[in-house]
Structure 1
């Protein structure tokens, strides 16, 4: 579409002269005899460039320029003000009113042509910028829609993942279980559980999939199913046997179970999505407890009459290398003893001074609340973690499973 130029000049001879000059330059021309007439044209018709005299009866060129700049017109209008006064004061006043260019009358065809070409370049830049902004706005709308869909999917995934976790603190055969679980995102890479393996044994685990977000959460869901005693077909914690009389299974010891996990869940070389885990079995009758770690933080043991201490040696993460053997740690849990299995999201939580929370601080808290009910102790730990972090967001999932012999 050709450039539309509006000439605003109260002197008829000057107006006609400007009109002829600009028509020779092959532009579409409209004319107005004063600012008010020009304003009415601007509101009704598309105009690209306004060339206006300064001094006119009624609405002068400066007032017209100010009105253009304050109005919500359909496009940017480039304004050139013509005046017989060419001083610095007039130039500053014109620019301050919103003029794009300033020329002293009389103007030659060559000068007007150059100023109009400069205006066209500015208008082209404005048009390109508007087009880019529209494209960006369209892209942003698409991204916002996609984010909304993803957010809903993540929230649905979080509900599914949450349904696989214990729903409330409970007691199994005189063993109390409670926990802290604060995922860093909608879905978490941490997962934990506890369950009765048979009439004499209770199992528990805490695992932490490397990474965050959907890939980590998907693997954690798969693992929680593989570690569920209710899953008789794929469970790695029991070996079911086709025998005519009960029991129809045998419980797999922790070291063997973790070794089987390692063989089944070898990481893809491209993603290297490994995980760490601590898995234990408690004998209900005598409190004998067998624990195996695979690259997971050492649990904290708090027994009557002794200080809190870390147990275990760490072991090797699951999925990084095949044919790994794992060790077992044996302890005896008596009445009043407590055991805490947790993820590194707690001990490696960073504060504003770039300091880690550390296992030592966690042990100090366990000692501080040794006479608290289990739930009150966990509330204390969670409160101190939030104080340490300084806000309610965590870079990594925060998980702690607390076990007490009652």
Structure 2
């Protein structure tokens, strides 16, 4: 047995950094001397007499520390070190080369091969203890880092699984939201309504739609719910029910006037009912802007309410553009409000464009916003004679060409185009 000082362990098995040591030397005597010291310090020791044998041991046992002679027949210490570093595994193994070489060039070769430290033969026990102690600290830090990285990977895996689940839910929610706008274009006699809906994410807070309770009557709208994301999307689903084209009994913009017969309410009256319904819903802080219009297809009479929404554009057949609407507060923002109603007449060939502020508040490459003036220029730049869907698609494509690439679509973009072509 060694003395108490000699039996001192720089880490020992209880420290957990270095437990198993591999001693590689073609000299049986040198292996025995090193092994006895290491065992007396409490380490588990494995021996190998060549580099080839040592590699096989490393594959099976994964030693924490390797003490290898440099000069050996066959695979020398440098070749063994390179092969050791090439082995798969997460835990780091500390590698000390035993050599009689002391030139800086030779030491540099050893470091390039992957060695961590050097000991000059014959090995001094005190120096060996000190080098192992240094290795203990490095391995302890490496394993602590590996443990933290493992925790991070596990956490990221769980987050990815949660994200994938949310993403699947959002994709399904998008399909449900798209079902609120089943028809992108629909004819009403000679006239036509076309819709554009481009969410800035999986789901959005914009909603467009149309409905007709009978011949020569059509209603259409453009809505923008405050905020973004799931809450706004859920609000659009609720509002879609209030303005349902397939369930007229539930449509607040329609009034029963006989068995199975309905007529369009004035837009201001419909806005009032929608506002009352929104305010009555407790626990809901969201509001929405809306442009809702009705048209008499026999006379071309147009009625419009603009509740906080951007001013609609009347595109006359002669190329003139007019701003429509008198402005009112958004729906659901205040109780006990009235809504102003705008009325005008359309001639065959005239069009009405309702659009969300995703157009006018689009951020340009210059950093400024498109605003109404920019939208008017964009509308004027569209080829004449375009049909409804083509016109809206071209308008949106032109918007994507001028928007800032650094910001992209920051808000949902939607529009409703009514083309009046006479009775």
TM-score (norm 2): 0.86
CA distance in 1: counterparts of 2:286 and 2:144, whole angstroms: 46
Structure 2 CA distance for aligned equivalents of residues 337 and 74 of structure 1: 72
- In structure 1, which of residues 365, 378, 389 is the aligned counterpart of residue 392 of structure 2? 378
Q: CA deviation at 1:267?
A: 9.6
What's 1:39 paired with?
A: 55
In structure 2, what is the equivalent of residue 401 of structure 1? 416
Structure 2 SS opposite 1:265: helix
Deviation sequence 1:338-366 (CA, Å, 0-9, x none): 11001111222223332323322222233
Judged with a 3 Å threshold, the aligned counterparts in structure 2 of structure 1 residues 74 and 130 are, in CA distance, closer, same or farther, namely closer
Residue of structure 2 equivalent to 1:277? 290
Once the two structures are superposed, the pairs formed by residues 144-159 of structure 1 within 5 Å of their partners are: 144-159=160-175
1:72-118, Cα deviation, whole Å (9 max, x unpaired): 24742211112223333233221111112223333333322222222
1:124 aligns with 2:137: no
Asked if the contact 1:46/1:74 (under 8 Å) is kept, the reply is no
Deviation of 1:269 (Å): 9.8
- 80-89 or 394-403, which moves further after superposition? 80-89
1:264 is the counterpart of 2:255: no
Secondary structure at 2:279's aligned position in 1?
coil
- The structure-2 alpha-carbon separation of the partners of 1:369 and 1:387, relative to structure 1 and needing over 3 Å to count, comes to closer
Aligned residue for 1:299? 312
**Residue 359 of structure 2: aligned partner:** 346
Measured after TM superposition, the shift of residue 247 of structure 1 is 7.8
Quick check: 1:267–1:273 contact (8 Å CA) kept in 2? no
Which residue, out of 348, 355, 363, partners 1:335?
348
**Residue 361 (structure 1) aligns with:** 374
Q: Do residues 67 (structure 1) and 83 (structure 2) align?
A: yes
- Is the Cα contact below 8 Å between 1:10 and 1:56 reproduced in 2? yes
SS in 1 for 2:98: strand
Instruction: From 192, 209, 215, give the equivalent of 1:199.
Output: 215
Contact 1:267 1:274 survives alignment (8 Å): no
2:71 is equivalent to residue 58 of structure 1: no
- The answer (yes or no) to whether the contact 1:5–1:27 under 8 Å persists in 2 is yes
Q: What do you get for the CA RMSD once the two structures are aligned? A: 2.7
Residues 1:367 and 1:200: Cα distance change in structure 2 (over 3 Å): same
Of stretches 153-162 and 133-142 in structure 1, the one that deviates more from structure 2 is 133-142
Residue 219 of structure 1: CA displacement? 0.7
Q: For residues 189 and 23 of structure 1, do their structure 2 counterparts lie closer, same or farther at Cα, with a shift above 3 Å needed? A: same
Confirm whether residue 13 of structure 1 aligns to residue 29 of structure 2.
yes
Correspondence 1:28 to 2:44: yes
Give the TM-score normalised by the residue count of structure 1.
0.90
Aligned residues: 403
Separation of aligned partners in 1, 2:298 and 2:312: 22
CA distance in 1, matches of 2:293, 2:44: 86
Q: In the alignment, is the contact (CA less than 8 A) between 1:297 and 1:342 conserved in 2?
A: yes
- Which residue matches 2:332? 319
Which stretch of the first structure deviates more once superposed, 12-21 or 127-136?
127-136
3-state SS of paired residue (2:250): coil
Following superposition of structure 1 onto structure 2, how do residues 220-299 of structure 1 map, counting pairs within 5 Å?
A: 220-240=236-256, 251-266=264-279, 272-299=285-312
State the shift of 1:133 in Å.
Answer: 3.3
Report deviation, 1:31.
Answer: 1.6
Equivalent in 101, 116, 132 of residue 100 of structure 1: 116
What's the offset of the Cα at 1:278? 0.6
Residue in 2 that maps onto 1:179: 195
The answer as to whether partners of 2:38 and 2:45 remain within 8 angstroms in 1 is yes
